[in-house]
Amino acid sequence: MIDLHGYGSQLLLGAQVTVELAMSSLLVGLILGLLGASAKLSRFRLLQWLANGYTTLIRGIPELLTVLIIYFGATTVLMGIAGWFGYEEYIEIGPFAAGVTALGLTFGAYATEVFRGALQSIPKGQHEAAIALGMGSMRKFYRIILPQVWRIALPGIGNLFLVLLKDTALVSVVGLDDIMRKANIAVNNTKEPFLFYLAAAFMYLALTVVSMVVVSYFEKRANRGLHRG
């Protein structure tokens, strides 16, 4: 590895934090996305209304602002809730937790649309066949619907992950020790901003390339049952 005035290993440590943040946010975002899509397609007006509000709000607000709102606002909100239960100590939420929450919420809002499209594209006959075989609605979802949704949604989710990977840089603004902040620290000490920000840029590029390879592997795997005509 290139030494970079001794900061190379620091940047790699930062990359580890970036990857951890991206993977945690992905997990939260996928769950929120599935819940959001189910809510949008549900029969209940209230759930539809909630899901629409969630996606419109999150998609219309800058990601940086979401990170700032969660980081600075969560303390107030959490302490307010804890206050109802008689807990009066100071609660602080760290940059990592705030980052996972903010990026997870953002990813979830966009993933809601992707999953909704995928859910809607599954033919009605598949549902009917599963019911005819006597599957309950949970079993039908896990065995029949979800594997197909996965296949259809994968390209969209892959794109969203690339966006998420780049958005992790924003969490450095509230002090998370990711690639970006390690680069800032190095710049403050060495006064060579171009070198370190370029190094950071290439680390993000490398992460992007790796993600693209992994996504295309998953896509091949998910499509293995399909014959090309």
Partner 1 sequence: MDFSVVIEYFPRLLSGTWITLQLVVLSVVLGGIVALPIALARVSKNRWINSLPFAYIFFFRGTPLLVQIFLVYYGASQFEVVRESMFWPILREPYWCAVIAFTLNTSAYTAEIFRGAIQAIPRGEVEACMVVGMTKAQMYRRILLPRAFGIVLPAYGNEIILMLKGSALASTITLLDLTGMARTIIARTYTPIEIFLAAGAIYLAISIVVIYLFKLIEQRQNRYLGTLSIKVPDKG
The secondary element (H helix, E strand) that includes residue 117 is helix 95-120
Nearest residue to 178 via CA among 158, 207, 213: 207
Report how far residue 25's alpha carbon sits from residue 39's, in angstroms, rounded to the nearest whole number. Answer: 20
Tell me the closest approach of the beta carbon of residue 124 to partner 1, in angstroms: 15
Between 119 and 180, CB nearer to partner 1: 180
Tell me the closest approach of the beta carbon of residue 168 to partner 1, in angstroms: 8
Between 82 and 135, CB nearer to partner 1: 82
Between 35 and 195, CB nearer to partner 1: 195
Between 95 and 149, CB nearer to partner 1: 95
Tell me the closest approach of the beta carbon of residue 170 to partner 1, in angstroms: 6
The footprint of partner 1 (CB under 8 A) covers 56-57, 59-65, 68-69, 72-73, 76-77, 162, 166-170, 172-173, 180, 183, 187, 191-195, 197-198, 200-201, 204-205, 208-209
Q: What is the dihedral of CA 149, 155, 159, 164, to 10 degrees?
A: 40
Report how far residue 168's alpha carbon sits from residue 108's, in angstroms, rounded to the nearest whole number. Answer: 15
- Residues 6+ away with beta carbon under 8 Å from 140: 127, 130, 131
Tell me the closest approach of the beta carbon of residue 169 to partner 1, in angstroms: 4
